[in-house]
Amino acid sequence: MKARALVVSGLALGLTLVAACGGGGNTVPGTFSVDFPTPAAAIAVMAHTPGVQVTVYATNVLGGEAGATSGLCETLIEQSLSNGTVTASPVATSAVMTPCDLEAGKGALAIPYGSYAFLAVAQSQPMEDFLVGCIEQVISGSNTNVVIPMTLASPMMALPAS
């Protein structure tokens, strides 16, 4: 059984998207999911970390134009891994959620249409990045599903045996 199909299919989290142009009550339901590299990685997050937190950043925060690939993900991951402090201001941040919370759909974020980088981080104790992932995506009325691929934060790390 493929790890991606096993884990990703169950880890969808509701995301409410609000129209950016003053649509007020106009919302479009959408989802984002966290794609763990293996089932063992998802289990390790449950056993050895508080959970996964997703933070959303506008891709034009580094001076780029909205809608263009900004390279923001590389910067966000580098800053997260080097000192845990990201200099960009987030648009939205989820609560820290376990894989079971994600599967149950207990989290929600509200963001307007636009171009964003979605950073997902699972920290082990003591507050060291264990798994990280990031993807840049334009959120629109026809594009509301985001899948964030995660990987080990360092090639020197290994998944716990239990």
Q: Is the pTM of this model over 0.95?
A: no
Exposure pattern of 79-101 as b/e (b: 16+ CB <10 Å)? ebeeeeebebebbbebebbbbeb
CA-based angle 17:29:104, to the nearest 5? 110
- pLDDT at position 160, please? 62
User: Higher pLDDT residue, 63 or 144?
Assistant: 144
Rounded Cα–Cα distance for residues 82 and 51 (Å): 20
Please give the structure tokens belonging to residue 120.
Answer: 């997902």
Each residue's pLDDT tens digit, 70-117: 688 999 998 888 867 788 889 888 888 888 887 776 667 778 888 899
pLDDT band of residue 144 (cuts 50, 70, 90) is confident
